[in-house]
Amino acid sequence: MYELSILIQGFPGRSVFHGGLGWSTVALLRGHGETILVDTGGYGYRVPLLAALEEHGVARSDVTAVVLTHCHWDHACNFPLFPNAKIIVPRPELDWAAVQPIGTWELPEFHVEKLLTANNVVRIEDGDEPLPDLKAIATPGHTPGHFAYQIGSTTGPLLFSGDAAKNQLELISGVADMTLDAEESRRSIETLRGLLLADPGLVLVPGHDRQLSLRDGQVVDHTKLQAGVRVWRPGTTGPTTTVDLI
């Protein structure tokens, strides 16, 4: 069984004027002789991510695998930080990303190029188990090759949905915001909902929200959201305001 630690919890929000926040969940799994990150966040995560790993006694060189749900910048950009890790990527996702023109929505072109050529990249298919007790589940829509992952943990089974169901609203409504194929997303959300409804003990770890489960069709949250912005207002000499986003 794996022990789960949420290093950075995702947040379901979007900036009004400055594009996507990109505040995605980064999770640490330890067990079966592996030290695994599920997604990595974007460049803005580097300081808090490395600090969180240090708090958990994990050095960059200790990470044995990075598991990516998809290739968007806010989930994939920090894989180069982990030199000893296998980088596990859905094959259909990487095949799709490889042929997209520069400027394609949310794709970090040069990171995709590196994934294509690096010798530590492991390309996987739907249903594969690239690591002990970790199963890949195709959940296309947000991107064509998006995968979710189901694992066993010390607290019960977990389902990492990435951006197939980014947050509670998408899970409940079946309607995905920011998706390349709304109908495919709807079917993928139904797949995830079916797994959760079949096992009330299964906990969802979304790409941009707190941990959730479904019991008798109702959402149960297992953690609380936290997010804020510190603001340097014009004419002041320091950070005078912290805006709580919850």
Cβ neighbours around 239 below 10 Å, total: 11
Establish how many alpha carbons lie within 13 A of residue 240's alpha carbon, considering only the half-sphere containing its beta carbon: 7
Q: What is the pLDDT of residue 128?
A: 98
Q: What is the pLDDT of residue 112?
A: 98
Query: Which one, of 164, 152, 163, 172, lies nearest residue 212 by Cα?
Result: 172
Segment (H or E) for 220: strand 218-221
pTM score of the predicted model: 0.96
On the 0-12 / 13-18 / 19+ scale of CB atoms within 10 A, 50 is middle
Distance CA 126, CA 58 (A): 30
Q: What is the pLDDT of residue 154?
A: 96
Identity of the residue numbered 177:
D
What CATH number labels 3-220? 3.60.15.10
Segment (H or E) for 108: none
Q: How confident is the prediction along the chain (246 residues), in pLDDT tens digits per residue?
A: 999 999 999 999 999 999 889 999 999 999 999 999 999 999 999 999 999 999 999 999 999 999 999 999 999 999 999 999 999 999 999 999 999 999 999 999 999 999 999 999 999 999 999 999 999 999 999 999 999 999 999 999 999 999 999 999 999 999 999 999 999 999 999 999 999 999 999 999 999 999 999 998 899 999 999 898 888 888 877 767 777 887
Q: Which two tokens stand for residue 36?
A: 């695994």
Cβ neighbours around 214 below 10 Å, total: 22
Q: What is the pLDDT of residue 28?
A: 98
Q: What is the pLDDT of residue 221?
A: 94
Q: What is the pLDDT of residue 234?
A: 83
Distance CA 92, CA 126 (A): 9
Residue 89's DSSP bridge partners are 123
| Residue recorded with tokens 């023109």 | 101
Q: What is the pLDDT of residue 243?
A: 77
